[in-house]
Amino acid sequence: MDIFAVFKLLGGIGLFLYGMSLLGTSLEKIAGAGLERTLEKLTNNRLKGLALGTVVTGVIQSSAATTVMLVGFVNAGIMKFAQTVPVIMGANIGTTVTGQILRLGDLSGSQLIFELIKPTTFAPIVIAIGSFMILISKRRKTRDIAHLLIGFGILFFGMTTMESALAPLKDSEAFQEIFFMFKNPLLGVLLGAVVTAILQSSSASVGILQAIASTGTVTFSMAAPIIIGQNIGKCITVLIASIGTNKNAKRVVVCHLMINIIGAILFLIGIYGFQTLVGFSFWESPMTRGNIADFHTLFNIATSILLLPFCNVLVAISKKILKEDAPSRADSSLALLDDIFLDRPTVALEQCRKLTLSMGETVQENYDMAVTLLQDFDEKTFEKLNENEAFLDKCETALGEYLVRITSRNIRREDQKEVAALLHSVGDLERIGDHCVNIAEVGQFNKEQGITFSKKGLKEIKIATEAVKHVLTITLEAYQKNDLTAAYRVEPLEEVIDLIKETLKVHHIERLSKGGCSVQAGISLTEFLTSAERISDHCSNIALHIIEKLSNMKDFDSHEYQKLMHRGTTEEYKALYRYYESKYYDPIK
């Protein structure tokens, strides 16, 4: 086999793989989203799942693609893990269709019908038909059918090109000696698995084996372990697709791998056991394309029939291999909102309150991390902050839905006020969490751009962060203890924080005019001050909800109350304002 034959072989492999890809893609487009919808609506009927897996994979020409879809559905919660097992088995059967199509190359006869359906005859015909369809039609459906025909033709062109390149090996003793090595079942399985893993398609590797079989040097004893290995190697695509998915989605991959490994073990024991005890008459007989296709189909059908009754066992083993994680913080916390409490609204509201308190603790933690990240950013802390933020988002959604369900019950006036206060407070806490992320992102931006604050600016930022931490602490204390006195202390401090924000902006402009600070640092400072001021605004909102809930006034107007406080009409308010002003504003004015 000279270098030109090698080039011809590589070209044939390329045409074969491209034709298979084009054929599968075109079939998928023609079928449309119906395949995915069919899988989504799958019932728990195993035979139905097996049939669907077979049909869908037969259409898209790839068991890996079907199984990857299953991984996606399970990861998205559309399907349950247990539902996928019979579909995986069906996908293994469906993937053998390509090999059965390729066996057409074995047809022989002088009659016109045999000549027409030989790949060497119909491949150029279907390519020509497909090409003309593309040239004369603009309709997407027609062009998809044209691509299907072209893919079909290229597939067989690649096949015949490979066979032509391999033909000289028929009489090569060296080639026969190399192939003789793979009579060893373990080496044969390994070769089949590795080649299929590289090609990421068992149909493709089986097709290449069929091309090699055209030389007449591939016997049953050589081909059987290779085909068995090919069925293991196809799992690599699904394994790659499962990266980053949830635990149940990964179990789909484990189950897929188990089905093929168990099938491989059973077949190897059965084949070599029978050969040792009785012996196959065709053990050393050359295999045709059809023989290889049939054995590939037999392996997958037999494995599916044997394992279909044990779907639950496969599910259980997969769960043993990939054990459940300890409940996440979100799962543990959201378990407080059990439907069982809805018939007792007072208890249900108390559960909501407990979860809201957990949100408050998370917000406090996130603020502390955000302040640290503002001046000393690191990815690990930022990742933790974002995990906390995701928890806050989940809590807001779950609490909102649960509280709405509580209001559908016949609840007391006091409970109605509690529901209103909770709904408002949950939203405010979640928004505080968002602003904490914004502050952390300022730190991230500064690190990436090499931006630093001046010494004077850092001192002012430190005082501002302390003031915001103080207002957040008072607010959460008031909420946790239903402390009216603490709630009244929030508004004057919020007003001082507003004053600090405006003053720091003025100071920055003064430093900028004197060259003591950069424009970029000013942008970061403004972003920080905006988020800090909004955190204090949301604290003020929460405090007002607490005052409204605990106040004995029947017609409490939070907006009127805010106006009165801002005018400083009470001595208590004036005293608190002066205290916070001296503590946080005077050092920077």
Instruction: State whether 290 and 339 are in the same domain.
Output: no
Q: Which residues contact 541 (CB under 8 A, 6 or more apart)?
A: 424, 425, 428
Query: Quick one: 249 and 395 in the same domain?
Result: no
Q: Do residues 436 and 486 both lie within one domain?
A: no
| Interior/surface letters 294-333, b for 16+ CB within 10 angstroms, e for the rest | bbbbebbeebbeebbeebeebbebbbeeeeeeeeeebeeb
Tell me: the pLDDT tens digits for 486-519?
999 999 999 999 999 999 989 888 888 887 778 8
Q: CA-to-CA distance for 57 and 201, rounded, in angstroms?
A: 12
Half-sphere exposure of 351 (CA within 13 A, CB side): 23
By CB atoms closer than 10 A (0-12, 13-18, 19+), residue 143 is middle
Tell me the whole-structure pTM to 2 decimals.
0.54
- Quick check: 89 pLDDT over 60? yes
Asked whether the beta carbons of 379 and 448 are under 8 A apart, the reply is: no
For 545-569, what is each residue's pLDDT tens digit?
A: 888 877 765 555 555 555 555 545 5
Position 176 confidence tier, pLDDT thresholds 50, 70, 90: low
Judged on CB neighbours under 10 Å (0-12, 13-18, 19+), 554 is: exposed
Q: Give the whole-angstrom CA distance, residue 136 versus residue 234.
A: 39
Both 301 and 236 in one domain: the answer is yes
Nearest to 365 by CA among 246, 266, 286, 476: 476
Count of structural domains within the chain: 3
Residues 169 and 22 in one domain: yes
More confident call, 118 vs 441 = 441
Residues 146 and 121: their CA atoms lie apart, in Å, by 18
Average pLDDT over residues 257-286: 90
Rg (CA), the chain: 35
Query: Is the model's pLDDT at 227 over the cut of 60?
Result: yes
pLDDT single digits (tens) 447-459: 999 988 888 889 9
Tokens of 536: 């204090």
- For Cα atoms 492, 494, 500, give the angle at the middle one, nearest 5 degrees: 110
Q: Which of 450, 478, 503 is the last residue of a domain?
A: 450
- What would you measure as the largest C-alpha separation in the chain, in angstroms? 111
What pLDDT was estimated at residue 381? 93
What CATH number corresponds to the domain at position 532? 1.20.58.220
Tell me, yes or no, whether 208 and 274 share the same domain: yes
Residues counted in the chain: 589
pLDDT at 573 over 80: yes
SS3 588: coil
> 10-24, 301-315, 563-577: lowest mean pLDDT where?
563-577
Q: Which of 380, 415, 450 finishes a domain?
A: 450
Range of the domain at 583: 451-589
- Contacts with 32 (C-beta within 8 Å, 6 or more apart), sequence order: none
Q: Are 342 and 293 part of one and the same domain?
A: no
438 and 463 part of one domain: no
Report the SS3 class of residue 286.
strand
**What would the two tokens of residue 472 be?**
């957040």
Q: Quick one: 357 and 301 in the same domain? A: no
> Would you give the end-to-end CA distance of the chain in angstroms?
88
On whether the CB atoms of residues 191 and 232 are closer than 8 A, the answer is: no
Q: Which of the residue ranges 121-125, 147-151, 223-227, 347-351 would you say has the lowest mean pLDDT? A: 121-125
Pairwise CA distance, residues 511 & 521, whole Å: 11
The last residue of a domain, from among 450, 467, 498: 450
Q: What is the full DSSP assignment across 553-572?
A: -TT--HHHHHHHHHTT-SHH
Residue 493's H or E segment, with its range, is helix 490-513
DSSP states of 306-362 as a string? HHGGGHHHHHHHHHHHSPPPPPPHHHHHHTTS-GGGTTSHHHHHHHHHHHHHHHHHH
pLDDT value of residue 83: 84
Residue 30: half-sphere exposure toward Cβ, Cα within 13 Å:
17
What rounded mean pLDDT belongs to the chain? 82
How would you classify residue 140: left for phi > 0, otherwise alpha for psi between -120 and 50, otherwise beta? alpha
Element (H, E) at 290: helix 289-307
Same domain, yes or no: 262 and 371? no
- The answer to whether residues 315 and 422 belong to one domain is no
Give me the pLDDT at residue 54, please.
Answer: 86
Which pLDDT belongs to residue 431?
95
**Is residue 483 located within the same domain as residue 530?**
yes
Q: How far apart are CA 585 and CA 589, in angstroms?
A: 6
